[in-house]
Chain A
Amino acid sequence: MPEAQHEHGMMTNRSHDEAERQNNVRTLRQSLLSKFAAGSRQQFYREIKPAYEKKTGASLNEYRQIRKEMLKGTYMKFQMGFHRVVQELMFESLVTPVEEQLPDLIKRSKNMEQNLGTLELDPDLELPRYVTAVDIHCQPGGFTAEHCEDDIAAGAIYDRAIHIYNSGSSGMTDMAGRIVTQYLDAIFPNLKPARVLDMGCTIGQSTAAYVNRWPQADVYAIDLGPALLRYGHARAEALGHKIHFSQQSAEHTKFEDGSFDVITSNILAHETSTKAWPAIIKECHRLLSPGGIMIHADLPQLNEVDPYRQFIYTNETHYNNEPFWTKFRTLDLKKVTVDAGFLPENVIRDFSQVKGGKDQAKIDAAIETSRSAGHGAPPGSPLGMAFIIGIKE
C-alpha cells in the first residue's frame, strides 16, 4: 500500500474523481506495468534469447539487436504501448485540475511567502536546447514553458506527477534526496556542510532532504524553469523549508569560486547534453570549496547492467522524450570527471545499494552481479541509484 502524498499548502485540490483518476494511473504504473515488465524479462531470458542463439549460433547480448527481436512479438509492443499511454493519461489527469485552479494556485503561491528562503528569476536567461527541443518525460509544456504571468503550472503538475511516477515515493516525495544523504552519511560520516547547492532542483522536493539533514547549512537550489522555481519556492515556504531558489544554468552559475561544500543533482545528468554535462562537472569543480564533495545521482550506465536492462533503459530515449538518455548512459563518467579537473584518486563511481566508497573491489563485484542478472531479476536496478562523486582537492 503506497504512502499517501503529504498535502501541503500549495497542492492542487482534487475532486473525488480527479483524485481517483490520478490514483489509478499510479496503480497501473506500479502494479500492472511492473508485472508486464517482469513477464517480458522472463520471455527474453527463457524463450527469445535461447531460440535466437539456437537458430543463429550467435549470442543475443546487444541491446539494439535485443530490441529488434523483442519487437517481433506482440507482448513487448503492448507493454511499450501501454507504458506510453499510462504516461499520457498521467499528465491528462494532472493538467485538467491545475488548469481549472491556476488563478487560485498563483494567488496561493503569493500568499505562502514568509521570507524563509528566497526566489530569484532571470528572464534573460537563455534556455539551452536540451530543455526546449522536446517536452521531457512527455510533460505537456515541458519544464520551462510559461503560460501566463507568475505561472506555476509546470510545478503544480510536476509535484503530483512525482508521487504517481515513483514507486518508492514517500509522502514527502523527498526519497531521491534522502538516498543521497544516506549514502553521504555512510561514506563521509564527518561531513558537515555550511553551504549546499542542488542543481536541476525542479520544485525542490529532493532539496528538502538536504535542509532536513543539514539544518545548519545554507541550501541553494537552481533550475532553468521559472514556473517550477516559483512553485518550488511557494512549496518550500508552505512546508517551512529554508531554500534559496534561483533560475540559473548549472553549466555556468553566478556563484563565486569555492562557494559550496556539497553540490548535488538528482536524475539531472541524462536530461542535459554531450556538451553540457562536462561543462556542469567543470562548474562543480569551480564551485566546490577545498575538500568539498559533488555527488550526482542517476541510473546506472549501460555497461553496469545486464543486456536486457540495457534494452529497457534505452527504450526511454525512444518512448519517453529522453533524447540524451542513451548517449549519456554510454559516457565514461569517471573520465569526464577527471577531464573536468578532479584528481583521479578523488573520483568515485558508486551505488546506493552498494556503498563501497573507496573499496573498488566491492563496487566491481556488485557491477558484475548486476551485469549477469538473468530472468528473475526484479524490475528495479539491483545497484539502486548510481552516483558519480568528485572530491575537490
Chain B
Amino acid sequence: MSDEQKVKLPRVAKGPRPMMFDDEANDILLSMNVSLLNELIVTRQRLDAVERLLESKGILNQSDVNAFRPDEAATTDREALREDISNRVFYLLLQQAERAEKAIPGDAPGDNI
C-alpha cells in the first residue's frame, strides 16, 4: 500500500478542548512537559532494555532491542522506574499534597508554584 492510499486516522477529538489556566500558554507548557516526561521514560526504558540485553548477550543488536519484552522481575523494576521519574517531575505538586495531608504550614493551597 503506497503512502497515498494509507488511511489517515484523526488525532484530534471532536469537542471543546478546555484550557485550565487564565493564560493558555500554561496549558501548552503543561502538555509539553507531560509529553516530554513520557518520551523521557520511553527513552530510559529503551536504554534499560539495551543494558539488559548487553548484560545477557554481550552483543548489541537493534532487532533484539525491538523484540525485547521484560520478564516479570524486569517488569516490576521498570514499573518502579516509571513511578520514580514521574514523581520527580511532579515533585512540587506532590509536596503540596503532602503538606495538606500532614497539615504542614507553608504554601497556601495551590499558590506560589
Contact = CB atoms under 8 A, between A and B. Distances in A.
Nearest to A71: B20
B93 A28 contact: no
Contact of A39 (B8, B34, B79, B94): B94
Interface string A306-317: 000000000000
A147 B17 CA distance: 23
B21 A32 contact: no
A85 B109 contact: no
Interface string B1-20: 10000111111111111101
B9 A15 contact: no
Given A16-B49, A98-B9, A321 B15 contact: yes
- Interface-centre pick from A25, A43, A72, A75 (highest chain B CB count, 10 A): A75
A78 B31 CA distance: 10
A74 interface: yes
A20 B20 CA distance: 28
Given A23-B82, A27-B86, A81 B21 contact: yes
Contacts of A86: 34
Contacts of B60: none
Contacts of B31: 81, 85, 88
Contacts of B111: 73-74
Contacts, number: 170
A135 interface: yes
Interface string A120-164: 000000000000011100111110010110010100000000000
Q: Is the interface of B mostly helix, strand, loop or mixed?
A: helix
A171 to B, nearest CB: 13
A100 B100 CA distance: 46
Interface residues of A, number: 65
Nearest to B72: A1
B56 interface: no
A169 interface: no
27 contacts: A24-B38, A28-B37, A35-B97, A39-B93, A39-B100, A42-B97, A42-B101, A43-B96, A43-B109, A43-B110, A73-B108, A73-B111, A75-B93, A77-B110, A81-B30, A82-B34, A84-B18, A85-B34, A93-B38, A99-B6, A99-B7, A134-B14, A135-B15, A139-B13, A140-B10, A142-B13, A151-B7
Given A24-B82, A81-B26, 10 more contacts: A1-B76, A24-B38, A39-B94, A42-B100, A43-B96, A43-B100, A43-B110, A78-B20, A82-B34, A321-B13
Interface of A: 1, 4, 15-17, 20-21, 23-25, 27-28, 31-32, 35-36, 38-40, 42-43, 46-48, 71-82, 84-86, 88-89, 91-93, 95, 98-99, 102-103, 133-135, 138-142, 145, 147-148, 151, 153, 318-319, 321
